């Protein structure tokens, strides 16, 4: 443990000491699986540390174990968790409940959904005050107001119901609720992952300020090394249940020791940089922007797949989409407001914005799933608003969709083979063995080899990245001219993102399909798109070549989006 | 095309067999459901092999009337001089058959209506909704009694028809709500993008994800059918000349079996009805894991 301690604190007891902790998942009839293996670390009072790892690394299991929230089948098989010198494993239920005040608390990723929808926020606070009796009944309201102000919410939220608050506000409320118990140790488990980019940034700022002003000890669990490095003083990197690196943030950034940390770091880059090197992309060597500029000017290369090249553009002219008001008497919702653009054959266009900016509505308009309230959406010569069922099928053949969530986009009960055969049988002339050959070929195209093995698998036997490859293969099965990709990598681990993005980019080059890439992630947009449109509240606020927009943003909203990108390099600046 | 479809067909058949095997092994792996399966198996075996198992014929009379249990007649005899044990064994046939037939037909109707109702958006759905609600608000037992007395003495087929007519609506309602949640899942949208027809999406994408619900609905409907069948026959609305647990209760009540101290005449068929219904309910405990392959393999993400 090489943490730099200031002289005055040297003899101070650590607030938390974890010794050789091993946690296993034990379910009947299965071999126990160790999620946390022999982990040891200490935490000094007032320290703010980060716990980083990809899904399955055991970081959340560790967090749950620390706060005694681990439930079967997770079992602590070995080791000690000493909180103020006493092992929390030995606490009984009532001692544990008392410990929740002034002891340790946890803020969950889904904490914003943990509020009771039929009780006002004020009642949530009162419940806690009453249960622990640490606030005089007379000062319940004063204390609640004070806590709500601490998390930068107006006092009026106290009389609202959870359903009336946004996701960010609810997460702030759950942080305030955790704070109301005046914990010494607060564990944040992915506190901002379910939130929107800009909100995420703001909530993290609040957490940082609170930690500094309240002086509690905190552990921030996240999959995002960027967020953790820019927020915390010390970082533990977990991989396969083992802490592979433990050190001060700036040291991890400048001189990562573990191979795994280096790999994670290599996937971060500033989207504003002149050149970007991400593993899997740098293989193409030269600056991607230059390559794109070249491609845009020269005619399509004549390779074997030239026959498949896109020849029709998607044209959107002054399209608006207005939804009926959610409640009587309210204003109608304008999701898309007078948007115009053209997606030329073979081009790649990014639609960027936070949720509610109208980017997904545009995707639905372009795929014919919805009709514009006014304006025109055309594919080639056909107006999408006037398509009959038959023509809509033809449109689907040419305009395909890559879904956001690979876990939801595949029917859990169908094999990969069945999933891929459907569009082949529906949209192409291939039948029987020819169709099957095509299916295997698609699997090879998306890099799932040996294809025969993958064809027989069910979705739950595949990893997230592999599933997303199947989703992409399915989108390609009908030889489409346009791919609409709706946040295709946002659900994937950092290390898998580059692979999927690289695949999309290669497919676009080889097959000449055009792509509408919808995202809030500016870095990935920089990697795979030529042009970019920034949307705010249904309007296009800025558009142009991707690199230009990102490097010289002119609209204030674009600048805010850019500032919200987690940037490990900020760890260097010090806070 | 003819030659190449054969392996595809074979694969499909193998897939179907795998599904059935999967359902069976999932149910068997649950201890409570296992008890239910054993119980149900006993009843089915008794019903199937009644001619060999029963010591006498079902309607064979001429024995001493209203006798207590003895070595010759373990459960005694009825007021008409028939062997009670033989009647119980033969009677299992009607109960098991009516339960499964009525349960299956009601479930099929519930699936067809519930799924198409849940998948379609528009005016058609409103109309179906009205009809289903109509069947839901009509009290079941009086309706059954009215229909049954209207179709006097139609025998087992009539009883099955009555149970189906009054029993499908609830299942349709449940399956419809599940269909509505599945309808908006990404994989259903994806199937639409893959060019699949609505019919195919409903029956190949949505339906397999509701196996546990449908299996549950079937066992629930079968239980209700067994109880309804016994109830109708006890009220004398079936054909009193067939031998079933319901008619046994009917005749026992008619001959004031309780007053004459022959409680076994009521107790034995009553217990059998209760045990058969229990066995199906127990099996239902094991049904949950069917739709969720992850649950089964026990390695949650």
In angstroms, the separation between the Cα of residue B300 and the nearest Cα of chain A is 10
Both tokens assigned to A303: 């390779």
Please report, for residues B99, B184, B246, the alpha-carbon distance to residue B93 in angstroms, rounded to integers and kept in the order given.
Answer: 10, 44, 12
Q: Which residues of chain B are within 8 Å of residue A419 when distances are taken between CB atoms? A: 194
Query: Which residue bears the tokens 């790999």?
Result: A263
Instruction: Give mean pLDDT, residues A82-87.
Output: 82
Q: Rounded to 5 degrees, what are φ and ψ at B10? A: -60, -40
Chain A interface disruption, residue of B9, B11, B190, B300, most A CBs within 10 A: B190
**Helical H segments across A55-190, by residue range:** 59-66, 93-99, 121-132, 140-150, 167-179
In angstroms, the separation between the Cα of residue B137 and the nearest Cα of chain A is 30
pLDDT at position A570 over 80: no
Residue B298 touches chain A, beta carbons under 8 Å: yes
Q: What is the pLDDT of residues A355-387, one digit of tens each?
A: 778 888 898 889 888 889 988 898 888 888 888
Both tokens assigned to A470: 């199947």
pLDDT at position A101 over 80: no
**Average pLDDT for chain A:** 82
3-class SS of residue B284 = helix
In angstroms, the separation between the Cα of residue A55 and the nearest Cα of chain B is 9
Partner residue facing A30 (CB), from B195, B209, B298: B298
Q: Is the dihedral of CA B73, B79, B81, B82 positive or negative?
A: negative
Please report, for residues A163, A164, A218, the alpha-carbon distance to residue A169 in angstroms, rounded to integers and kept in the order given.
Answer: 10, 10, 21
Partner residue facing A426 (CB), from B195, B204, B291: B195
- The angle that helices B84-119 and B31-48 make with each other, rounded to 10 degrees, is 120
- A478 within 8 A of B195, measured Cβ to Cβ: yes
Window 278-297 of B: residues touching A by CB (8 A cutoff) are 291-294, 297
Both tokens assigned to B2: 């003819």
Q: In order along chain B (301 residues), what is the average pLDDT of each group of 10 residues? A: 53 74 80 90 91 81 75 77 87 90 94 90 85 86 82 78 88 91 89 89 89 87 90 84 88 83 86 93 79 47 32
CB–CB contact A408 B8 (8 Å) = no
Cis before A212? omega within 30: no
pLDDT confidence of residue B276: 93
Cis before B93? omega within 30: no
CB–CB contact B298 A27 (8 Å) = yes
Both tokens assigned to A123: 């009642």
3-class SS of residue A409 = coil
Both tokens assigned to A374: 């006014």
Percent of chain A residues past pLDDT 70, beyond the cut: 90
- A486 within 8 A of A360, measured Cβ to Cβ: yes
d(C-alpha A143, C-alpha A137), whole Å: 10
Query: Which residue bears the tokens 């266009």?
Result: A349
Query: Which residue bears the tokens 């593993």?
Result: A279
d(C-alpha A152, C-alpha B168), whole Å: 55
In angstroms, the separation between the Cα of residue B34 and the nearest Cα of chain A is 17
d(C-alpha A32, C-alpha A75), whole Å: 10
Q: pTM of this prediction? A: 0.78
3-class SS of residue A134 = coil
- A165 within 8 A of A143, measured Cβ to Cβ: no
d(C-alpha A456, C-alpha A450), whole Å: 11
- A270 within 8 A of A255, measured Cβ to Cβ: no
CA angle A366, A367, A373 (to 5 degrees): 55
A interface residues, B as partner, C-beta within 8 Å:
27-30, 33, 55, 367, 369, 393, 396-397, 400-401, 403-405, 408-414, 419, 422-423, 426-427, 431-433, 458, 460, 471, 474-475, 477-478
Give the Cβ contact number of residue A273 at 10 Å. Answer: 13
Q: What is the pLDDT of residues A506-528, one digit of tens each?
A: 888 888 889 999 988 888 888 88
- B285 within 8 A of B36, measured Cβ to Cβ: yes
Window 194-213 of B: residues touching A by CB (8 A cutoff) are 194-196, 204-205, 208-209
Query: How are strands ordered across the β-sheet holding A348-352?
Result: A399-402, A482-486, A514-519, A348-352, A531-536, A539-545
pLDDT at position A420 over 90: yes
In angstroms, the separation between the Cα of residue B192 and the nearest Cα of chain A is 9
- Secondary-structure breakdown of chain A: helix, strand, coil percentages, each rounded to the nearest 5: 40, 20, 35
Q: Which residues of chain B are within 8 Å of residue A29 when distances are taken between CB atoms? A: 298
ipTM of predicted complex: 0.74
Give the residue among A62, A134, A148, A70 at the shortest CA–CA distance from A102. A134
Partner residue facing A408 (CB), from B3, B185, B192: B185
Please give the torsion angle defined by the CA atoms of residues A319, A324, A329 and A333, in that order, rounded to the nearest 10 degrees: -40
pLDDT confidence of residue B142: 85
Of the pLDDT bands very low, low, confident and very high (cuts 50, 70, 90), residue A435 is very high
Residue B68 touches chain A, beta carbons under 8 Å: no
Question: What domains lie within chain B, and their CATH numbers?
Answer: 26-51+75-292 (1.10.3720.10)
Both tokens assigned to A172: 């702030």
CB–CB contact A433 B208 (8 Å) = no
d(C-alpha A33, C-alpha A74), whole Å: 9
Question: What domains lie within chain A, and their CATH numbers?
Answer: 14-267 (3.40.50.300), 312-564 (3.40.50.300)
As beta bridge partners, residue A382 has A379
Query: How are strands ordered across the β-sheet holding A314-323?
Result: A333-343, A314-323, A374-379, A382-383
pLDDT confidence of residue B38: 94
pLDDT at position A286 over 60: no
Of the pLDDT bands very low, low, confident and very high (cuts 50, 70, 90), residue A301 is very low
d(C-alpha B64, C-alpha B60), whole Å: 12
Q: Is the dihedral of CA A45, A47, A48, A50 positive or negative?
A: negative
User: If residue A17 lies in a helix (H) or strand (E), which one and from where to where?
Assistant: strand A16-25
Q: Which residues of chain B are within 8 Å of residue A408 when distances are taken between CB atoms? A: 185-187
d(C-alpha A176, C-alpha A453), whole Å: 50
Written as one string, the DSSP assignment of A329-350 is TSPPEEEEEEEEEEE-TT-EEE
Most confidently modeled range among A300-309, A333-342, B237-246 = A333-342
Give the Cβ contact number of residue A456 at 10 Å. Answer: 11
Q: Look at chain A and count its residues.
A: 575
3-class SS of residue A210 = helix
DSSP state, residue A14: P
Give the Cβ contact number of residue A296 at 10 Å. Answer: 13
Q: Which residues of chain A are within 8 Å of residue B208 when distances are taken between CB atoms? A: 411, 413-414
Chain B interface disruption, residue of A422, A464, A466, most B CBs within 10 A: A422
3-class SS of residue A283 = helix
Residue B189 touches chain A, beta carbons under 8 Å: yes
pLDDT at position A341 over 60: yes
Give the Cβ contact number of residue B20 at 10 Å. Answer: 9
Q: Rounded to 5 degrees, what are φ and ψ at B145? A: -65, -40
């Amino acid at each position: 443990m090489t943490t730099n301690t200031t002289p005055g604190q040297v003899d101070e007891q650590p607030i938390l000491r974890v010794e050789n902790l091993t946690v296993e998942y034990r379910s009947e009839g299965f071999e126990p699986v160790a999620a946390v293996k022999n982990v040891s670390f200490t935490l000094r009072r007032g320290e703010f540390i980060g716990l980083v790892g990809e899904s399955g690394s055991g970081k959340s299991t560790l967090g749950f174990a620390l706060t005694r929230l681990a439930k079967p089948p997770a079992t602590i098989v070995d080791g000690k968790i000493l909180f103020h010198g006493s092992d929390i494993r030995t606490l009984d239920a009532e001692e544990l409940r008392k410990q929740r005040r002034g002891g340790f608390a946890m803020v969950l990723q889904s904490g914003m959904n943990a509020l009771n929808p039929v009780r006002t926020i004020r009642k949530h606070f009162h419940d806690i005050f009453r249960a622990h009796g640490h606030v005089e009944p007379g000062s319940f309201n004063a204390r609640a107001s004070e806590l709500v102000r601490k998390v930068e919410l107006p006092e009026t939220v106290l009389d609202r119901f959870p359903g009336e608050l946004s996701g960010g506000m609810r997460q702030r409320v759950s942080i305030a609720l955790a704070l109301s118990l005046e914990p010494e140790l607060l564990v944040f488990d992915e506190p901002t992952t379910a939130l929107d980019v800009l909100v995420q940034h703001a909530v993290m700022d609040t957490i940082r300020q609170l930690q500094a002003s309240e002086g509690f000890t905190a552990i921030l669990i996240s999959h995002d090394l960027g967020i953790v490095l820019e927020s915390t003083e010390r970082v533990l990197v977990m991989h396969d249940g083992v802490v592979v690196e433990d050190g001060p943030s700036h040291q991890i950034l400048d001189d990562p020791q573990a191979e795994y940390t280096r790999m994670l770091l290599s996937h971060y880059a500033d989207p504003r940089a002149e050149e970007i090197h991400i593993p899997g992309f740098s293989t193409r060597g030269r600056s991607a922007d230059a390559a794109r500029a070249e491609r845009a000017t020269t005619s399509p290369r004549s390779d074997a797949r030239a026959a498949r090249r896109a020849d029709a553009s998607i044209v959107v002219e002054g399209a608006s989409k207005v939804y009926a008001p959610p409640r009587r008497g309210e204003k109608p919702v304008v999701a898309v407001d007078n948007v115009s653009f053209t997606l030329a054959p073979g081009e790649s266009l990014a639609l960027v914005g936070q949720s509610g900016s109208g980017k997904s509505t545009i995707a639905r308009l372009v795929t014919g799933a919805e009709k514009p309230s006014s304006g025109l959406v055309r594919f080639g010569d056909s107006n999408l608003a006037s398509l009959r069922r038959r023509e809509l099928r033809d449109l689907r053949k040419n305009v395909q969709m890559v879904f956001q969530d690979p876990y939801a986009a595949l029917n859990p009960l169908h094999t990969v083979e069945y999933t891929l055969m459907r569009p082949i049988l529906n949209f192409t002339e291939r039948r029987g063995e020819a169709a099957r050959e095509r299916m295997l070929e698609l699997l090879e195209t998306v890099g799932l080899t040996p294809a025969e093995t993958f064809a027989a698998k069910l979705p739950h036997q595949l990893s997230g990245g592999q599933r997303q490859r199947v989703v992409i293969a399915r989108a390609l099965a009908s030889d489409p001219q346009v791919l609409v990709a709706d946040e295709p990598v946002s659900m994937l681990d950092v290390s898998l993102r580059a692979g999927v993005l690289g695949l999309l980019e290669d497919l676009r080059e080889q097959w000449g399909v055009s792509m509408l890439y919808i995202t809030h992630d500016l870095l990935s947009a920089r990697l795979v798109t030529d042009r970019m449109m920034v949307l705010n509240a249904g309007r296009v606020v800025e558009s142009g070549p991707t690199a230009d927009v990102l490097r010289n943003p002119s609209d204030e909203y674009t600048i805010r989006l850019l500032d919200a990108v987690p940037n490990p390099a900020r760890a260097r600046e010090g806070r | 095309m003819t030659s190449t479809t054969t392996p595809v067909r074979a694969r499909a058949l193998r897939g179907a067999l795998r599904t059935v095997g999967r359902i069976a092994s999932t149910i068997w792996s649950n201890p409570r459901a296992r008890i239910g399966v054993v119980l149900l198996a006993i009843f089915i075996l008794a019903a199937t092999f009644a001619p060999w198992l029963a010591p006498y014929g079902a309607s064979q009379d001429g024995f001493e009337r209203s006798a207590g249990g003895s070595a010759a007649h373990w459960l005694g005899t009825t007021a008409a001089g028939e062997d009670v044990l033989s009647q119980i064994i033969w009677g299992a046939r009607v109960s098991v058959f009516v339960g499964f037939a009525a349960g299956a037909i009601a479930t099929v109707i519930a699936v067809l209506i519930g799924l198409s109702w849940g998948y379609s958006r528009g005016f058609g759905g409103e109309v179906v909704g009205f009809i289903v609600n109509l069947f839901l608000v009509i009290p079941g037992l009086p309706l059954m009694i009215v229909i049954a007395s209207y179709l006097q003495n139609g025998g087992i087929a009539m009883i099955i028809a009555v149970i189906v007519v009054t029993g499908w609506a609830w299942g349709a309602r449940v399956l419809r709500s599940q269909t509505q949640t599945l309808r908006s899942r990404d994989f259903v949208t994806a199937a639409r993008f893959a060019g699949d027809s609505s019919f195919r999406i409903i029956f190949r994408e949505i339906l397999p994800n509701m196996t546990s619900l449908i299996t549950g609905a079937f066992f629930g409907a079968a239980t209700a059918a067994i109880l309804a069948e016994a109830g109708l026959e006890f009220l004398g609305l079936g054909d009193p000349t067939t031998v079933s647990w319901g008619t046994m209760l009917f005749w026992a009540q008619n001959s004031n079996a309780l007053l004459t101290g022959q409680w076994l005449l009521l107790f034995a068929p009553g217990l059998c009805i209760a045990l058969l219904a229990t066995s199906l309910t127990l099996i239902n405990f094991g049904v949950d894991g069917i739709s969720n392959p992850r649950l089964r393999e026990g390695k949650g993400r």
